Amino acid sequence: MTPYDEWHLETHRLGRRVLVFDQLDSTSTTAAALANDPANDGVVVLANSQTAGRGQHGRSWQCAPGTGVLMSVLLFPPPEIRRPALLTAWAAVSVCEMVREVANLQGRIKWPNDVLLRGRKVCGILIESRAVADSRLAVVAGIGLNVNQTAAMFDDAGLPDATSLGIAAERLFDAAEVARTLIRHLDDEYTRMCHGDRATLEACWKWRLGLLGRQVEAECGDGKYHGRLREVSFDGLELEQGDATVLRLEPERVRQLRLV
Amino acid sequence: MADEAPNNPRPFNVKTVKYLITLMSQHDLSEIDLREGDLRIRLARGTLGPTVTTIAAPPVALPTAAPVAPSGPAAAPAKPAKALTEIKSPTPGTFYSKPNPESETFVRVGSRVSPTTVVCIIEAMKIFNEITADCTGVVAEILVENQQAVEYGQVLFRIDPTG
């Protein structure tokens, strides 16, 4: 499988090389196959269509050819940012910032990393990591973004809770331009993290989760916890209990976070 | 003595914290500070503000290799003949024994592993981290079930390096 086009964006790390394919089994599988060479740090794999797009843990990701952005980014993050909470927030916030730029809409993040527009899912993110040689960790961030799908297409596919940029903004988008804008935002946020600035990402993440001050239920591996969400940070989610105590849950423990 | 209450929660989890908070309030204690190895839990209550309870202190990181520690006869008195190597979870999360629900498990008891063998996936915040054995031997024990919640440092597998 050879790419039909290759882009070289003027970014810091991500997208200095973008391999554009017509059709792939999965952009993440192709990106992961590049993980043996450290020089591939930041390579982006794009495809117009996937025959075996992957969603979470074995689910499929459906996208009619040419209607969305199907992208996977290969990264070898330094040890200080190898945290699930950071990587999840990085991808989801970058997607939201891109949406704001191209469509002038404010996306919300549904814990942990779905991006919603007007309550419907516009983007799915699947991040996989594995150890490779020389103590490097290869991270492949797969992003499936709905761009020009119509409501009828989602109805036909049995996805009533999905939306696209086109539906939400009531116009069509240039998918390639959307992809380039997304890569730039991913690069900006990633570069900032690598330079030690997590506060900006944390603030954007907190705001886009949008649950501060609300009564929530946090579902963890060992049970469900309730309380008023008084703080969200990479250090923990703080749930104010009725008895004036505060429970702090590490983000990585929280599987679902929802309003009650 | 350490085994007198095997059904109690593990030393540092939410149930334990809740239990400690109850004890503090019953006995009007202002502070509890417990340590075990790298884990520390400190609970304080007072009039200046609400008590903040931190659950699980060690930094969470995706490793390039699973933390592996030999468990000698002292740690496993029931099996004094063999020193087994433990593969531990690098992060809190969900343990997956297979790459997807339809697949075979990565390894089973008796499987031979090398340092690069993927033994499981630990998922946290929808980040799926493949864990490699980082040692050579034969899987002697699998201590967790598919989709079970695991803690930082929890032993997932014991590997017999002489197998």
Please check whether residues A43 and A117 belong to one and the same domain.
yes
Separation CA B110–CA B138 (nearest Å): 6
Please check whether residues A123 and A223 belong to one and the same domain.
no
pLDDT at B22: 73
pLDDT at B82: 72
Please check whether residues A60 and A74 belong to one and the same domain.
yes
Mean pLDDT check: name the lowest of A82-96, A124-138, A219-233. Answer: A124-138
In tens, the pLDDT along B60-88 reads 677 765 555 555 444 444 544 578 999 99
Residue A118 has pLDDT above 80, yes or no: yes
Q: Does A231 touch chain B (CB under 8 A)?
A: no
Distance from CA of A131 to the nearest CA of B (A): 4
CATH code for the domain of A181: 3.30.930.10
Please check whether residues A158 and A238 belong to one and the same domain.
no
Contact A57 B96 (CB under 8 A): yes
Please check whether residues A150 and A244 belong to one and the same domain.
no
Please check whether residues A144 and A229 belong to one and the same domain.
no
- A52, burial (CB in 10 Å: exposed 0-12, middle 13-18, buried 19+): exposed
In tens, the pLDDT along A171-206 reads 999 999 999 999 999 999 999 999 999 999 999 999
**A-B contacts at Cβ under 8 angstroms:** 128
Please check whether residues A200 and A173 belong to one and the same domain.
yes
Distance from CA of B134 to the nearest CA of A (A): 10
pLDDT at B36: 61
Please check whether residues A149 and A81 belong to one and the same domain.
yes
Cis amide bond preceding A112, omega within 30: yes
Residue among A240, A252, A254 whose CB faces B60 most closely: A252
Which of A143, A235, A253 is most worth mutating to test chain B (most B CB atoms within 10 A of its CB)? A253
Among chain A residues, CA nearest to B52: A246
Q: How many domains does chain A have?
A: 2
Contact A113 B126 (CB under 8 A): yes
Residue A56 has pLDDT above 70, yes or no: no
Structural domain range at position A138: 5-207
Domain boundaries, chain B: 2-44, 52-58+81-160
Please check whether residues A178 and A247 belong to one and the same domain.
no
Residue among A85, A88, A131 whose CB faces B64 most closely: A131
Residue A74 has pLDDT above 50, yes or no: yes
Contact B62 A129 (CB under 8 A): yes
Distance from CA of B161 to the nearest CA of A (A): 21
Residues 134-163 of B with CB under 8 A from A: 134, 148-150
Separation CA A192–CA B139 (nearest Å): 42
Please check whether residues A134 and A57 belong to one and the same domain.
yes
**Band of the pLDDT at A62, cuts 50, 70, 90?**
low
Distance from CA of B145 to the nearest CA of A (A): 13
Spans of chain B below 70 pLDDT = 1-18, 20-21, 24-25, 28, 30-60, 64-81
Helix (H) or strand (E) segment spanning residue B137: strand B137-142
pLDDT at A113: 92
CATH architecture of B52-58+81-160: Beta Barrel (2.40)
In tens, the pLDDT along A130-178 reads 988 888 899 999 999 999 999 999 998 888 899 999 999 999 999 999 9
The token pair that represents A50 in the structure block: 């996937």
**Band of the pLDDT at A243, cuts 50, 70, 90?**
confident
B102 interaction partners in chain A (CB closer than 8 Å): 58
Average pLDDT, chain A: 93
CATH code for the domain of A245: 2.30.30.100
Look at residues B128, B136, B107, B134 and name the one whose alpha carbon lies nearest to residue B119.
B107
pLDDT at A148: 95
Which of B22, B104, B125, B147 is most worth mutating to test chain A (most A CB atoms within 10 A of its CB)? B125
Among chain A residues, CA nearest to B150: A221
Separation CA A124–CA A55 (nearest Å): 8
Please check whether residues A127 and A192 belong to one and the same domain.
yes
Which of B13, B31, B126 is most worth mutating to test chain A (most A CB atoms within 10 A of its CB)? B126
Contact A79 B126 (CB under 8 A): no
Helix (H) or strand (E) segment spanning residue A237: strand A236-240
Please check whether residues A94 and A188 belong to one and the same domain.
yes
pLDDT at A221: 86
